[in-house]
Structure 1
């Protein structure tokens, strides 16, 4: 998820590490704060893998800054991950939101539609937080207001997302 966010933000523009960290935190920080000890080693590995480059640029009022940019291989890697995301990017809500934040960079509408259809398929499969044997339990199965709340919120979120997916797919597929 973090690597996809790095690729996505650097696809849009060159950034220095602090700016990149702040953008990632705004997108995914509610899930897990981004520590320097996590981000900077990842950036070094991505640089060593040829996915990004680093250039020293004079600072405005302080020391020089290391500006990060995607290489051609980095741009290709992002587009490949958007075109054929791992299953966890379809089924895990936090990974899905990260993927969705950058799916516009995949400019091929049919390819975008394939990704959205995978998510729609996932959301329309029988699911529950709790089961009674093979039977998924629903909000009405609980007297507990907290579990009912969990189901009520999840159901409303899923319905809203499915409506958005149908609307967006109709737009993508009419072009």
Structure 2
């Protein structure tokens, strides 16, 4: 998720590390804060792989800044990751949001629709956080108001997302 966010934000515009960290934190930080000790090694890995370039530019007030830009290889890698996300990018809500934040950079509407269909299929699978034996429990079946609350919120969120996914798929020409 971190590398995807780095590639996605740098696809938008060149950034220095501090600004990149702020943007990633705004996207994912409420769940997974981004520490410098995590971000900078990821930047170095991507730079070593030829996906990022570092350029020194004069600072507006202080010392010169190292600005990161995406290379052609980085653009290709971002589009590859967007077109062919791993299952956790589809099933994990936080990873899904990171993927969704940059899906517009995938120029192929059929490929975009394919990613959205995968998410829709996942959401349409019967699931619950709580089970009785092998049978998933519905919110109405729970005596515990807190667990019932979890399932009620998840159900409402899933319904809203399914509605959005279907409408977006129709607009991309890939709806059902």
Query: Scaled by the length of structure 2, what TM-score is found?
Result: 0.97
* Residue matched to 1:84: 84
Q: Quick one: distance in 1 between partners of 2:79 and 2:99?
A: 11
* Residue matched to 2:100: 100
Residue 111 of structure 2 aligns to a residue whose secondary structure is: helix
Q: Which runs of 4+ in 1 moved over 3 A?
A: none
* Residue matched to 1:168: 168
Q: Quick one: distance in 1 between partners of 2:47 and 2:29?
A: 23
Residue 50 of structure 1 aligns to a residue whose secondary structure is: coil
- Give the superposition deviation at 1:144: 1.1
Q: Quick one: distance in 2 between partners of 1:60 and 1:95?
A: 34
- Give the superposition deviation at 1:57: 0.4
**Consecutive unaligned residues in structure 1, runs of 5 or more:** none
How many residue pairs are counted as aligned between the two chains? 174
The alignment status of 1:60 with 2:56, answered yes or no, reads: no
* Residue matched to 1:121: 121
The alignment status of 1:37 with 2:34, answered yes or no, reads: no
CA offset digits 1:68-87 (Å, max 9, x no partner): 00011000000000000000
Query: Scaled by the length of structure 1, what TM-score is found?
Result: 0.98
**Consecutive unaligned residues in structure 2, runs of 5 or more:** none
Q: Quick one: distance in 2 between partners of 1:31 and 1:77?
A: 25
Q: Quick one: distance in 1 between partners of 2:139 and 2:124?
A: 17
Residue 173 of structure 2 aligns to a residue whose secondary structure is: helix
* Residue matched to 2:70: 70
Residue 63 of structure 1 aligns to a residue whose secondary structure is: coil
CA offset digits 1:80-129 (Å, max 9, x no partner): 00000000000000000000000000011111000000000000001000
* Residue matched to 1:46: 46
Q: Quick one: distance in 2 between partners of 1:33 and 1:166?
A: 32
CA offset digits 1:31-57 (Å, max 9, x no partner): 111111110111111100101000000
Residue 66 of structure 1 aligns to a residue whose secondary structure is: strand
Q: Quick one: distance in 1 between partners of 2:131 and 2:147?
A: 13
